[in-house]
Amino acid sequence: TDKTWNPVTGCTKLSKGCEHCYAAVMSRRLKGMKKPKYANGFKVTLHDDALIEPTQWEKPCIIFVCSMSDLFHKNVPFEFIDKVFQVINNTPRHNYQILTKRAERMAEYFSTRSIPQNVWIGVTVECEETKCRIDNIRSLNATVKFLSCEPLLGDLGEMNLQGIDWIIVGGESGTQARPMKEEWV
């Protein structure tokens, strides 16, 4: 990733991987620093003014979308997601990485829309209970489909990786980090 783009900030906890969310901690810090984008703390907030950011980056980049949120959170209307994808379509020089824990909502969104060629689609799979997210992206027509197994919280067991192009694996960071065992990797 070369850059991050946050047209949405804030989220709510959904699964075990969210327990020590780095974005929630960072949002509190940024709010304390009086950063206007984080005035609402970690409450889901849409930032129309941030939509133009990638259009100002001339050099081609790999951009992580919503590192401080989840684009497919239920409080982000599909109409706003459409605006995000309009920017993505208008900046084909960039590649965009979109990661979600809300795989079902993402699949619903793309059931009536196509995925631009410059978009990589991923889901977080941090424990056995979240492996079902993989099936939600397997059939999507994305250039790159990936899994983020971080924080990896347990042995995921056997996995069907058909149609998956890339896997990111990592442990949890921070003072309350839960351990990751090498054999899980």
Q: What percent of the chain has pLDDT over 70?
A: 100
Q: What tens digit of pLDDT does each residue of 16-50 get? A: 877 877 777 788 888 889 999 988 988 999 999 99
pTM of the model: 0.93
Q: What is the pLDDT of residue 24?
A: 73
Q: What tens digit of pLDDT does each residue of 111-138 get? A: 999 999 999 999 999 999 999 999 999 9
Q: Is 61 exposed, middle or buried, given 0-12, 13-18 or 19+ CB atoms closer than 10 A?
A: middle
Instruction: Write down the H helix ranges in 53-95.
Output: 78-90
